[in-house]
Each structure stands twice: as structure tokens, then as C-alpha cells.
Amino acid sequence: VLRATTAISAAIAHGVNSIIPVADLDTARKYQEEGYIVAAERNGQVVEGFDLGNSPYSYMNPDLKGKDVVLTTTNGTRAIDMAKHMDQVVIGALVNLDSVIQYLTEQNKSVLLLGSGWKGKFNLEDSICAGAIADALIQTGNFKAEEDSTIAAKYIARSARENIFGFLKASSHRRRLRNLNLNKDMKYCLTPNTLDVIPVLKGNAIVNVSHALVEK
């Protein structure tokens, strides 16, 4: 949620053709040598020598419309890499929360909610997002929580939902990001349902689901 999956959703919503997630900087550099536009973020900042980081605003650039952008981030793209062997990988964020919930409800398949976290550790914002998705799916009556962590995430999401931004003021991760002067990004990332996109992994690239269906 802060910020890879939000940036991916924003990119897809603003006309970027695809995001190619890669787990490490070496792979990112190889794509760069081949002439790709490459975004690389580590510890909240753009890595030196790369064009973009993971601020969602940087993907609203008209020059990126129709382009394929390679992306590597501290946590998000590693989680996508871990999940790539699943039947389907859907990119969820708060900005596209209801779109993802609707899509998963329609698919009616088993769902594993994988939060990227922060350097291998639990974080609040991904748990709030996962918990909100779980809560909505369970309420359809067609899904049940298999793990205690899902139930916990549901209650964390309920505790936070009136004011996610305020809730995260207590979060170490948020404090870290505040130090980087990312208040504007934070507000964007933590405002639910501003985008109607469902980014999914197709081969090695993330595209909007409608695009993925057309090409099937």
C-alpha cells in the first residue's frame, strides 16, 4: 500500500501499458540497458541512476502513456515475485479496494492475501488493506477465514477504517515515510476507492484485467 501497489494501480489507471515487476536491482539494470524505462525504489527513495521511484504521482506523466515500465521496490515487487506461481496475482491497494473486492467476489476462488510488509516484517497499512478485503469477502457468505491472521487483519481494518491516515500516525513505517516528506503520497495511498482498475500479473507484466482478458 505504501507505495508499490498504489503506484502500480495509479500507473495502470493513467494509461501506462504495463508494469514489469522485478525483485532485484541487477535485473532492473539489465532492462535499463535494453532501453526500458525503469523505476527503482529502496528504503523509500529513488535509487541513483534510475528514472523513477514508487511515488504514484510520478506515474501520472503523459509521457508514460502506452509504455511498459520496469519496477523494483523494497517490498512490493518481492511479494509479487513470491506469488508469481499462483493461479493469478491481483494487485490490491486502498485506491482500488472496491474494484479488487468485486473482482475477487466474482471469481469466487480461494484467495491468499499477501501483504508485502516492510523488509520481511508485518506492517499496518498492508494488513488494513488485506483485512478490508477479507472482511468484505467474508460478508458475501461465500468465503471463510482459514487463518487467525485473516481474522486479526479484519479487526485491524475495522479499527482503522474511520481514519486510516490518523490510525497510521501511530505506525513506525508512517513515521519513517514522514521523515522523507511524503505526506502528499501518504494521503493519496491511504484514500480508498479513487481508482477503478484491477491490475493483474500476466506473464511477466502487470496489466489491467480487462486488457488481460482481451489478450487471452
Which value, to the nearest 10 degrees, does the dihedral of the CA atoms of residues 52, 57, 59, 62 take? -120
CB of 143 to a copy of itself, least distance (A): 13
- Closest approach of Cβ 148 to a copy of itself, in Å? 4
24 or 147, CB closer to a copy of itself? 147
Task: Determine the Cα–Cα distance for residues 88 and 75; give it in Å rounded to an integer.
Answer: 19
State which of residues 27, 46, 151, 178 lies at the interface with a copy of itself (CB under 8 A): 151
With b for 16 or more beta-carbon neighbours within 10 A and e for fewer, the 109-119 pattern comes to eebebebbbbe
Residue 215 backbone zone (phi > 0: left; psi -120 to 50: alpha; other: beta) = alpha
**CB under 8 A, 24+ apart: contacts of 107-110:** 108/142
Per CB under 8 A, 202 contacts a copy of itself: no
Binding residue for a copy of itself, selected from 58, 73, 127, 208, defined by CB under 8 A: 127
Grid cell listed for 157: 481494518
CA 186 to chain centre: 13
Measured in degrees and rounded to the nearest 5, phi and psi for residue 8 equal: -60, -45
Contact flags string 99-118 toward a copy of itself, x per CB under 8 A: -------------------x
**Based on CB atoms, which residue is closest to a copy of itself, 170 or 213?**
170
β strands within 24-160, DSSP E:
37-42, 45-46, 68-72
Least Å distance, CB 136 to a copy of itself, is 16
Of 152-181, binders to a copy of itself (CB under 8 A) are: 152, 155-156, 158-160, 170-173
**Residue 149 binding a copy of itself, by CB under 8 A:** yes
CB of 77 to a copy of itself, least distance (A): 20
One of 87, 106, 148, 162 touching a copy of itself (CB under 8 A):
148
Residues that bind a copy of itself (CB under 8 A): 118, 121-124, 127, 145-149, 151-152, 155-156, 158-160, 170-173
